Structure formats: C-alpha cells, structure tokens
Structure 1
Amino acid sequence: MSNQLVIRNMTRPELDELVEWAAREGWNPGLHDAELFWATDPAAFIAAASRDGELIGGGAITSYHGEFGFMGFFIVRPEYRSQGLGNTLWHARRERLLARLRPGASIGMDGVFTMQDYYAKGGFVFSHRNLRFRAEINERPTTSQADDQDIVPLAAVPFDQVVDYDRTCFPASRATFLSGWIAQADALAVGCRRDGRLSGYGVIRRCREGCKIGPLFADDALAANALYAHLAEFAQGGPLFLDAPENNPAAMALVHQQGMTEVFGCARMYLGPPPVIAHERVFGVTTFELG
C-alpha cells in the first residue's frame, strides 16, 4: 500500500472527515474548528489517500507567514496503522512544511509522549510538556483578588493590540487566525486591562464535550486567574479543559488552585531553534492542532 499512497492537499470536506476522526480518538474538537482552521491556512491540510481516492490519513502543516510552522492533527485510520503509512505521511508533511517556510524558520509540534522518540529521530527536540487539565464547573471558580481586575469583552479592545499581545506569546504574528478565533460562534473572548493597556486575554469555545480555554495569555497570575474565572462561568454545568504548559510554574499553580485534574498531555518539541517568547505569560496554549 505504501507504494500506492498518494500524498496531496486535502479538500474541505476531507477536513470535516479528519475532525470526525479526531472526535472518535477522544481529541474533543471545538464545534467550529474545521472552518476556523481552514480559514487560517487552507494549504496546511495534507491527505494520504489510496489511488482510488480513499482517505487513509491526514494532518496539518500550518505556516504562519513563512516565519514559523506547526505540525499537528496527525491521524491515520486505525485499520491502516502499523503498515508504515503514517511514517510516509509524517515525513512527507515535514518536508512540505519546510518548503513553505523561510530558511532557518522553526517548526513546533505537540506529540503524544509515546511518540516522542519517533519525533526525535525526525529532528525534533523536546522543549516542555503541555498538560491537559479538566474541571467540572458547577459553581463560580475561585478568584480572590482577581475580582479587582478589569475584564472586558475582547471585541472592545483594538484588534491590533490583541495581535501585538499575542505575538509576545506565540512565535509569529497570526492575525488571520485570531480574527476568526476570537469572533467564533459558541465562544467567549475576554481581555484584561491595566492602566489602559491589555495585560492578557483568553478564549473559551464549546467542544464536543464541554468547553476548552485556549489561549490563556496573561502578564501574571492575578490577571490569568481573573480571566480564567470569567471564562469558566461560560462552561457552567459541564466539564472545562485547559492545556497548560509545565514550563510556567504560575500556570501549574493556577490549575491546582482551581482544583483541575490532569487527564492528558503532549510533548512540545521543535525542529530548529526554540522560539523566543514570553513563556511566563502562557497559562494555556491555543490548540494542539495549530499551535
């Protein structure tokens, strides 16, 4: 089969199929992830198919203006696993993404721990763990002094300020992605302001099960807890998920303070130099699929 595998760009309906596979794998995609991911970079979605067109596997190779790349959403149908097809697809995606980036640009990925050695053989170096936490939101979250923070709808903040703040926490500018992400249906986006400037922001979206917060970026724990409290109210009556980076001690403190339970995790790895960002501001990553 590997000799007959066709590696090509994915069609829009095939992305919907990939999202359904992700749901069956327990990845719990957001209700509007497919349309938002496609709008960000339609050329990012790569399919592995048989000669007759049957979709066998797929994944994303998102390019952020050629300055930073991210590999994610890597799935092979269960009946085609352990045949070398995933290996062929993964390497093809890596090479295609390198070709989409400027020379020297880095590529990031969040890989399951069991595949960490495999990705290392492909040149990726471990950075830190991103851990998924879950909480059942049946009452208002703990805030303490966080109540004193000025939390506003993110739509009330000039968009260029949001893009500029996001750039301190993400390796490249991603205005196209953010314009859709913060305005998506079935979601809430809020910002924290201090002295007239943005000191953090967060987004929560409804998923197949409960809600996910991502991103959650803030100057410090006080702003992060205030944002979390406002976002978590949106998830009242169901589970809430947050993917927190282990290399930010304040993020680990937040999830423990809020009584969240670790349920999953990925290894953040980079091919090329690790990006220089404000790790202390990252309390929750945006997605495991697009970075």
Structure 2
Amino acid sequence: MSVTHRRMTKADLGLVLDWAAAEGWNPGLDDTAPFHAADPDGFFIAVEDEQILAAISVVNHTDDYAFLGLYICAPEARGRGIAYELWQTAMAHAGERTVGLDGVPEQQENYIKSGFELVGSTVRHTGPLASGPAADTRPANAADIGRMTELEAVASGVAKPRFLTQWFRPAPTRHGFITADGTGMVVIRECRDGYKIGPLVARSDVQARNLLQAAAAISGEADVSIDVPASDRTLTGICRELGLAPGFETARMYRGAPIFESDMLYAVATLELG
C-alpha cells in the first residue's frame, strides 16, 4: 500500500508522545490535551497499511507565527523519504507564517537546506532542584490564566493563546505559581521521568529564584529539567546555583522573520511547541 498523510487524532498524538518518550524527549504525563488544543489541524502522520511511520507538528499559534516539532520517523521507515514528504505536507499548513523550531545540532544542516536560519540555542539544565523559601509567590488558579498568557507573550515575543490557555489550567500533574504582584510566573509538570519547568517568566533574579523554589515544593528530590536560552546568563547562573547542571543543547531556528525574546528572564514552555 502507498503511504498517505493525515492529521492526528488525540489518540494518535498520545502514541506519538510515546515515541517521543522512547527517543528520550521525556514528555509530560498530560501533554496530549494542551498540545492538541494549540492547533488541532497542525499535527500530521504518515501512514502505511494502517501503521504510523512518521510524525510532525506545525502548530499555527497566530496568523503570523507557527512552530515545528515532534518530527519523528519510525526506525524501520527511515531512508525512504517518508519523513521529508510529511515535512512538506506539514510546512504547507503554516502558509506564509514565520516558522520556528528547536532542533538538535546534528540536524541543523538539513533545516538550513529547508530555508531555516540559526538565531540562537537553548540549553537544558537538569537535576534535583534545591528547596528554599518562595517569597512573594502563590499557587496560580484559573483566574490567573489570562495574566499568565500575557506574561508569556511579552517574554517570548509571540502570543500562544490556544496552547497556553490549556497549559495553564490547574491539573493533577501540572502546577503553576505566580508572583504576588502578577509580574512573574512558572509552571512545573510531571513527566515520564521527573519533572519539567516551563514556561518561567521573571523580571529579576530574586523573582526567578522564588519561582523556582516554589516549583521545588512540587518536585521534591526528583530530577527537574528547564530549557533556558544560552544567551540568558542570569537564569543559567541561577539554575546552577540551585543544583541544575547543563546538558544537551538545541538550535533555535526560523524560516521567515525571527521572533526575538524580551530581556525578561525566560524559559520556554516546551521544545515541541515553543
């Protein structure tokens, strides 16, 4: 049978996130619903004889901006051009939008051939997060979603309303904290292995420490990961002070006009959706 392309159902997306876990990407336990809500038409799979062979997402966050992720091919299907053909289908979904991605360095040349340009890098910091007083913070609730979404848009340079409205909803495996004055926030979620933090938005090093230590009350002694722009030396230093060590690095690339983050201290929500 020939290979066909179709959009993922939520069940398909759950399977693809299992693939991501097998690749070592360590998705969250409850990522499926907020991912799918970001753009239900933006998740694609290649199928042959009812078997999924490759996957990719190109999520249209706004009329001007999309983000690419979850680009995976089953080992037995590699070398047949299946993933690249699916890439082309997914990229058409973005239209004329700027498209961002966080890609592993060894794929940079392939992305450049597809019209992407390197603008920076992101470093994952991992380890048990040191606990301490979390002054001037409180647990976030549903009434804070609008404010948290605004903060993330200012910090990252682009709004992601459909995704973050779901991401910020309190859930058993996902917790948010916001500063007392509403100018900083953080989300921590339980993953297949330990926890991940993101997004984090802070206006000062003191605020960032307080938010991270609020998150530490959730993670306890488990490992925590946070993805920080390599250019953000302040947040990088805070992560190291609190016990997190730098690990793997991804390349932030754009096709089209790049999006530039603000000078706030910022960590991305997820490498898959930006």
Letter of the 1:109 counterpart: L
RMSD: 1.8
Identity over aligned pairs, percent: 29
Letter of the 1:63 counterpart: N
- The structure 2 residue matched to 1:68, chosen from 65, 72, 76, is 65
Aligned to 2:239: 255
Deviation at 1:156, TM superposition (A): 7.3
Aligned to 1:119: 111
Distance of aligned partners of 1:59 and 1:282 in 2 relative to their CA distance in 1, 3 Å threshold:
farther
Are the counterparts in 2 of residues 214 and 286 from structure 1 also a CA contact under 8 Å?
yes
Report Cα offsets for 1:48-100 as digits up to 9, x if no partner. Answer: 111x22210111110113221000011101111122222222222222222xx
- The structure 1 residue matched to 2:88, chosen from 82, 87, 91, is 91
Letter of the 1:90 counterpart: W
* Number of residue pairs aligned between Structure 1 and Structure 2: 273
Aligned to 2:272: 289
Letter of the 1:216 counterpart: L
List runs of 5+ in structure 1 lacking aligned partners.
none
Aligned to 1:130: 122
Q: What secondary structure, in the 3-state scheme, does the structure 1 residue paired with 2:180 have?
A: strand
Aligned to 1:140: 131
Report Cα offsets for 1:6-29 as digits up to 9, x if no partner. Answer: 122122221111011111111111
Distance of aligned partners of 1:277 and 1:237 in 2 relative to their CA distance in 1, 3 Å threshold:
closer
TM-score w.r.t. the length of structure 1 is: 0.88
Tell me if 1:174 matches 2:157: no
Letter of the 1:21 counterpart: W
Deviation at 1:211, TM superposition (A): 0.5
Are the counterparts in 1 of residues 186 and 197 from structure 2 also a CA contact under 8 Å?
yes
Distance of aligned partners of 1:35 and 1:275 in 2 relative to their CA distance in 1, 3 Å threshold:
same
Are the counterparts in 2 of residues 58 and 74 from structure 1 also a CA contact under 8 Å?
yes
Q: What secondary structure, in the 3-state scheme, does the structure 2 residue paired with 1:243 have?
A: strand
Once residues 287 and 159 of structure 1 are traced to their aligned partners in structure 2, the CA distance between those partners, rounded to angstroms, is 17
Once residues 146 and 254 of structure 2 are traced to their aligned partners in structure 1, the CA distance between those partners, rounded to angstroms, is 28
Are the counterparts in 2 of residues 189 and 202 from structure 1 also a CA contact under 8 Å?
yes
Are the counterparts in 2 of residues 56 and 80 from structure 1 also a CA contact under 8 Å?
yes
Deviation at 1:45, TM superposition (A): 0.6
Q: What secondary structure, in the 3-state scheme, does the structure 1 residue paired with 2:25 have?
A: coil
Once residues 207 and 46 of structure 1 are traced to their aligned partners in structure 2, the CA distance between those partners, rounded to angstroms, is 23
Between 1:224-233 and 1:166-175, the stretch displaced more is 166-175
Are the counterparts in 2 of residues 218 and 283 from structure 1 also a CA contact under 8 Å?
yes
Letter of the 1:192 counterpart: T
Deviation at 1:272, TM superposition (A): 0.8
